[in-house]
Structure 1
């Protein structure tokens, strides 16, 4: 049976990724982050989102790229994972659209050991990596981030606070 689910499509380096739209809380314009010196390589820092420090993850690291410097032209995707909120760095947010289940291939067959991708799909004749919102941080990475936040002498005020922007939030 062919079914379709709604996804948010975005670009990380030269790859197109998709997240289930139900897991995306908001899209924010990139802001300055507070670095976490002992955080895993995938974590670029933390961001103050309405008084709560949330880890910013660069999915490009899991795709084999070096960590990306943050540019104001990028976006932070605020997603709700099973373990809590996380921000995902996106170079560009493309669209919200459907993926047909008949076009989805299990990622284990194509990318062994890559834990962010659940499946790979064809969308408008382009390969799309479908990400699992619960897999951006492993259990060990979550523990390392929590420890880094506790041990870091940073002040929340050093990170810009994300403000709601109707023009971006309403685009979902």
Structure 2
């Protein structure tokens, strides 16, 4: 994809995204065989639900159909969110990942896996898990020290109340809700 096409697509779609209080994270045009795929990734501080993505997809489709930004050929439009293992490229990404475990590739070499505790203009405060029964340690990384970072998926994270769950809730809550619905 040429830079001018990328810029035209961004100029065309960003106002629609901003009007929904979302951030346009990524635009990619890929060729898959004879087909072209336009992938648009959006996000917000509160995440993005499927209804908002569907609404944006319809608006993008209409806007793209009335413009020549994708040219005359056929293409498939895919609109989504960054996903569970999202890359952390900008300060707002780190802010959205506070409390989450992330894997950092350091500019000086090496890797570090740690929980993001706090983010400011210069960098991040982390909690590095202890190894072999040792207590976690605090560490500060300036953004300049980070070559790449990505959120890690946690399946058995202990929440503040001690429950096992990635979302901080208890698995028993779902069973309780189902039983209450069946009884109603």
Band the TM-score falls in, shorter-chain normalisation: under 0.3
Greater helix content: 2
Q: Name the structure, 1 or 2, with higher relative contact order (CA <8 Å, separation 6+).
A: 1
TM-score by length of 2: 0.21
Higher strand share: 1
TM-score by length of 1: 0.22
